[in-house]
Amino acid sequence: MKTYIHHVQYYETDKMGITHHSNYIRWMEEARVDFLEQIGCGYATLEKEGIISPVIGVECDFKTPTTFDDFVEIKCAIEEFKGVKLIIKYTMINQKTNELVLVGKTKHCFVDKNNKPIILKKTFPKLDEKIKELIDKGDHYE
């Protein structure tokens, strides 16, 4: 899979000239959406199947700040999958400096349109199989 690259915009920086911390969560979402699209199970596909995958937790460990015009490489990997709960981990690297920017995680569950938990294996076996395949092969962003 191809790596997701985010180009830091001027409006994403604060008065100190560094990227405001709230943007990194948005970038995780950008990378996650891209990651799911690449494995053939994007959000539009999930929603068409009646599946919603809300974020139920976020962790960010900031290492090195970024600034306007930096290019940030964001790698995703599936850390854990329990059929109802999914944890995706993120590693962000500044392409200009090769410095580690952030390591983080997002935790997700799968629910139907009535917000009732669903077991992915029964409701959308294609995604269940793909996630398990990625875990088995260790295939993530390269």
Instruction: Give the distance, in angstroms, between the CA of residue 62 and the centroid of all CA atoms in the same chain.
Output: 16
Per-residue model confidence as pLDDT tens digits over 73-103: 999 999 999 888 999 999 999 999 999 999 9
Q: Which helix (H) or strand (E) holds 92?
A: strand 85-94
E strands in 37-84:
55-62, 71-81
Q: Is 14 a catalytic residue?
A: yes
Per-residue pLDDT of the chain (142 residues; tens, 9 = 90+): 789 999 999 999 999 999 999 999 999 999 999 999 998 888 998 999 899 999 999 999 999 999 999 999 999 999 999 888 999 999 999 999 999 999 999 999 999 999 999 998 998 888 898 888 888 776 555 4
CA distance 9 to 19: 9
Q: Which residue has the tokens 């490489």?
A: 73
Q: Which domains does the chain have, with CATH numbers?
A: 4-137 (3.10.129.10)
Q: Which of 14, 34, 61, 128 is catalytic?
A: 14
